[in-house]
A and B are shown apart, each in its own frame.
Chain A
Amino acid sequence: MELEFSESTLSEKGVLLNIVGRLNATSTQKLKTHLKQLVDGNKVELILDMSAVSFIDSSGLAALVSGLKHAREHGGWLKLAAVNQQVASIFKMTLLDRVFELYPTVEEAKK
């Protein structure tokens, strides 16, 4: 399945990115590029709505970590919201749940 994004601006630097699909080896390149574009365009305060991401594998993780790194390098941050069970367990397994800020809902991530 193709990976799809829709985004809404939250503030001058803030963007809410809604991701739909599976974050796997064939699709993550697209996410990686997209995150980099946002950061380069000075959108560095990112909230990723993960509620419609049904699956993530190692390449998906790599894309998110590199997104996080870029955002921080530019003085911003990257929050993950509404992560589903499978995705959460992968974060937990890799200890990346301690690196990322995870929020149960988009609303809470916005606070």
Chain B
Amino acid sequence: MKDQYQKRVWVFRIIAILTVGWGSYYLFWRYTSTLNMQFLWLAIILILCETYSFFDTLLFVLMLWRPSNRTEPPPPIQASVDVYIVTYNEPVELLRLTVDAATRIDWKEKHVYILDDGSRSHIKALADEFHCGYITRGEEWDGKPRHAKAGNINNALLQTSGEFILILDADQIPASAIIRRAIGYMSNPKVAFVQTPQYFYNLPPGDPFGSDAPLFYGPIQTGKDGWNAATFCGSNAILRREALLQLGLSRFVHEMEDNMREKVMQLRHELRGFRMTSPLQKAAMTQLKSSLRAANKALDSGQSLEVVGEMARKAVVEAQQSIALKDFDQIASALEELGGQGDASALEARKYILENKSRLAARTAPSEPEAVGLSGEAYSGLTALQDGEAIPINSLSVVSITEDTATALRLHAMGWKSIFHGEILAYGLAPEDLGTAMRQRLRWAQGTIQVFMRENPLFVNGLTLAQKLLYFNMTYSYFGGFVNLTYMLVPMLYLFAQMSAISAWSWGFLLRLIPLLILNRVMFAYISKGLSAQRGEQYSISLFPIWIQAILSVVTGAKLSFEVTPKQRQNGNYLRLIWPQLTVMILAAAAIFYGLYSLAYGINPNPVGIFINIFWCVYNILLLSNIVRAAIYKPPSDWNPRPPEFLFPKST
């Protein structure tokens, strides 16, 4: 077993080194000898895309360089487990299967809860029927951001107490062994989560929508696991409550810190815009400014929030008192003059005031922040904690519509470990139509890019270099949308207009390119040996409009929302959804004909160039044809997928 693993890893490494080596050579040669100066803009676009692809390959190799080798899981530990079934609007029949199977999970100390964000009475009835807990949002959430699935789970975390939490989406029917097989890894107290695969029992024959992810729940997750960077997928995973709470607390402190920083900034900003109503305030303000600067510095140097808050508050009070001290100086000198006119009590008062100046200043100092040029809002903000959230502790990250990625990223950054256990222990539903499948992909892509924009993994402290790169790769790969579109358009430009990114369509070019393509194919074939990974690969390319849309929507700051993936086939005209792909296919077909025509009539006398580019156009048409098939796909009329029988043994 071990030898076989070693052999697999080393064969991959050799192929990978050859691929990367040849790729470097090819790219170097492309940069130095083949840029077409006549169409330099096009040459640069294409070479940038090829460079992108090269780094994509590098990251892929890194990911798979030292996969984990988990065979038999460690023996189970004794622990209490809360089973969360997370639902919003899924039909009760669907939920019934999951709840039924969850109550059959072979684990003594377990509590099953339905987390119903739809607060539906018939789901409550279902919970009662199976004697499980039923959790909805309380009044504290009224008018507050709900944070979709992450909010739902965070809400439940505060109401249950199991040491571990098994999270299941509404459609993920658990096998009875799910806890027993996965919880053993938790014997290592540093492990925060154990992720198991998602398996779909409703895949139509041939998996037209590319839902099956054997490559992801196989080599990719195993590879990431080897770097302690397994992806948390939001369902079919066991999480350690302690890790989630620690994460929530640390986020809480972070957010308070940010809050405090913002408030101190606001105070300082307000001071800048303040018009002095009396010259007395000037000195006080100068003092306040420097004190607030000190508070800001203290915050940067990791001083506790209480101390910093106190510093800022004290700075304001001192500024107010210094105004008061100057007021009393003024009063004293006025009293002196009055005394000079013969008012004895004025002199008496003056003497008394000068003797007790600081005490009096403390008692009568202007108490409002406005006196020193601050809004009450900014000042009171210093004492306030997090405003606006329903519950103070958000364990599952709420910064993104894909809460799982963001949560795992933070757990990894805190030094927690993750496990990918590759055994199928839950059976769920994949989208049954192209529209739903595409929306789901769009949401994943948007969420991942959103995490990247808010918390760029390359700059997150606490992650190892490999973790940073692998998290970075999750977003990087979506830029392939632009790259693949370019790869599709470039041959057409050549065939239609003889615009070429490459200076010479020569045999020398083919001699360098073809080995690279072959090596790439060999590497991919080796990795996906025995898996039906082809469909997924096709989709990663042919969904290019989705990836582009995802990037553009996040970059332009469009509002994104968490959307529950519908669990039933939706009817609709899906050809409309793939108009970009259809356009590319039609253009490519036209380009092929025009290329042949221009060869036959001597418009373009370069047969090598024409055939290479026709080859690419044909290749792209074939690749994209899968998504056309998916768009017009209708399941067989007797298609009625059922979850595996063994999940519901008759004996009970």
Contact = CB atoms under 8 A, between A and B. Distances in A.
Our verdict on whether A and B bind, yes or no, reads yes
Interface of A: 24-26, 28-29, 56-59, 61-62, 65-66, 68-69, 72-73, 90, 93-96, 98-99
A-B residue pairs, 6 tightest by C-beta: A25-B371, A58-B327, A25-B366, A58-B324, A98-B345, A95-B349
Given A25-B371, A57-B366, A58-B324, A99 B360 contact: no
Contacts of A90: 363-364
A98 B334 contact: no
A49 B343 CA distance: 23
A99 B338 contact: yes
B85 interface: no
A66 B333 CA distance: 9
A64 B280 CA distance: 16
Contacts of A56: 364
B349 A66 contact: no
B449 to A, nearest CB: 48
A58 B365 contact: yes
B47 to A, nearest CB: 64
Contacts of B281: 25
Contacts of B348: 95, 98
26 contacts: A24-B371, A25-B323, A29-B278, A58-B327, A58-B328, A58-B361, A59-B278, A59-B280, A59-B323, A59-B327, A59-B366, A62-B327, A65-B330, A66-B330, A68-B338, A69-B338, A72-B338, A73-B337, A73-B341, A93-B360, A93-B363, A94-B349, A94-B352, A94-B364, A96-B349, A99-B338
Contacts of B306: none
B338 A25 contact: no
Interface string B349-379: 1001100000011011111101110000000
A95 B361 CA distance: 14
B334 A69 contact: yes
Contact of A99 (B330, B346, B371): B346
Size class of B's contact patch?
20 to 34
B277 interface: yes
B331 interface: yes
B335 A61 contact: no
Contacts of A65: 330-331, 334-335
B368 to A, nearest CB: 6
B18 to A, nearest CB: 76
A56 B371 CA distance: 12
A17 B398 CA distance: 58
A57 B331 contact: no
A33 B524 CA distance: 84
A24 B281 CA distance: 12
A72 B280 CA distance: 24
A23 to B, nearest CB: 10
Given A24-B371, A57-B367, A94 B338 contact: no
Contacts of B367: 24, 57
A57 B364 contact: yes
Contacts of B330: 62, 65-66
B331 A62 contact: yes
A98 B351 CA distance: 13
Contacts of A24: 366-368, 370-371
A28 to B, nearest CB: 8
B323 to A, nearest CB: 6
Contact of A93 (B364, B370, B371, B372): B364
Contacts of A26: 277, 366, 368, 370-371
A96 B349 CA distance: 6
A59 B327 CA distance: 6
A25 B330 CA distance: 14
A8 to B, nearest CB: 27
Given A57-B366, A99-B338, A94 B360 contact: yes
A62 B334 CA distance: 9
Contacts of A93: 360, 363-364
Question: Most chain-B CB neighbours within 10 Å: which of A62, A72, A73?
Answer: A62
Contacts of B331: 58, 61-62, 65, 94, 96
Contact of B278 (A25, A61, A68, A98): A25
Contacts of A98: 345, 348-349
Contacts of B343: 72, 99
B345 A61 contact: no
Contact of A57 (B278, B280, B345, B365): B365
Nearest to B279: A29
B337 A69 contact: yes
Given A25-B278, A68-B338, A95 B368 contact: no
A85 B324 CA distance: 21
Given A25-B371, A61-B331, A65-B331, 4 more contacts: A25-B370, A69-B337, A94-B352, A94-B353
